[in-house]
């Protein structure tokens, strides 16, 4: 079985400050983990993906995430937020037991000028 | 959004109308998904097709009828909808492996009057 928990429904930061979006997962197999971003009235765009290679994954737009098996976490970070980063972010887990990925409930990132 | 298209992008319909949503992928994938995304609610999986066969129906009301004539096309036929069916309907595709990435279309914004 697989599940994913996004620990914050909303995160608010100032432009130029670091971003941290938290995600914990559970999986019966070696999981693949994803972060997607969704801007208003748009589809979901892949930010980055972990598939048992390097534990620190770099994605688009300066985002990165670190896979920590001991903590069952896959937190998303960015050193400096831009106004254009304001969006909904989804953490997703997919393991060898299912072809149906499991989505978190989403974290809304708010960026203040 | 690259490689997965959805039409129409916006649709307004009355409760007695019949309409169809279309999804097309140009990525050579063999699994396709319909999701419903309502305001303030998590992403809801509706249907999954693998190699044109429906493998998942997530207790969706019969007023939603999917069709997958080939691996590249997916339809969602709508009839006798309710106002609570108003939502963003997202299509996604992936290769039929448990760890591969899903690619999403831009969605169809449906409003039921």
Q: What are residue A53's phi and psi, to 5 degrees?
A: -100, -130
When computed from its CA atoms, the radius of gyration of chain B, rounded to whole angstroms, is: 13
- B68 or A31, which is more confident: B68
- Mean pLDDT value of segment B103-108: 94
Is residue B44 exposed (0-12), middle (13-18) or buried (19+ Cβ within 10 Å)?
middle
By C-alpha distance, the chain B residue nearest A6 is B42
Assess B98–A contact: CB distance below 8 Å, yes or no.
Answer: yes
A43 vs B4: CB contact, 8 Å cut-off?
yes
Q: What is the pLDDT of residues B3-37, one digit of tens each?
A: 999 999 999 999 888 999 999 999 999 899 999 99
| pLDDT value for A96 | 65
Block means of pLDDT (10 residues each) for chain A, length 113 residues? 92 98 90 93 91 88 95 97 97 79 94 96
Reduced to 3 states (helix: H, G, I; strand: E, B; else coil), residue A28 is coil
- Mean pLDDT value of segment B51-56: 82
| pLDDT value for B98 | 54
From B42, B88, B100, residue closest to A103, measured CB to CB: B42
């Amino acid at each position: 079985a697989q599940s994913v928990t996004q620990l914050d429904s909303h995160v608010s930061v100032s432009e130029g400050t670091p971003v941290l979006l938290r995600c914990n997962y559970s999986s019966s197999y070696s999981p693949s983990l994803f972060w997607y971003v969704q801007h208003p009235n748009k589809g979901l765009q892949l930010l980055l993906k972990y598939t048992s290679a390097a534990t620190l994954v770099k994605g688009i737009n300066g985002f990165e995430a670190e896979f920590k098996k001991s903590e069952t976490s896959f937190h998303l970070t960015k050193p400096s937020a831009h106004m254009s980063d304001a969006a909904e972010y989804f953490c997703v887990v997919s393991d060898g037991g299912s072809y149906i990925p499991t989505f978190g409930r989403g974290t809304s990132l708010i960026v203040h000028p | 959004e690259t490689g997965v298209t959805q039409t129409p992008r916006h649709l307004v319909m009355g409760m007695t109308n019949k309409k169809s949503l279309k999804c097309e992928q140009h990525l050579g994938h063999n699994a396709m998904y319909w999701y419903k995304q309502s305001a303030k609610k998590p992403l809801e999986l509706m249907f999954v097709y693998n190699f044109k066969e429906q493998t998942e129906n997530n207790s969706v009301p019969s007023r939603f009828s999917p069709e997958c004539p080939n691996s590249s096309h997916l339809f969602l036929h709508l009839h006798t909808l309710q106002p609570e069916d108003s939502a963003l309907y997202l299509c996604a595709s992936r290769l039929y492996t448990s760890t591969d990435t899903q690619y999403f279309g831009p969605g169809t914004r449906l409003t039921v009057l």
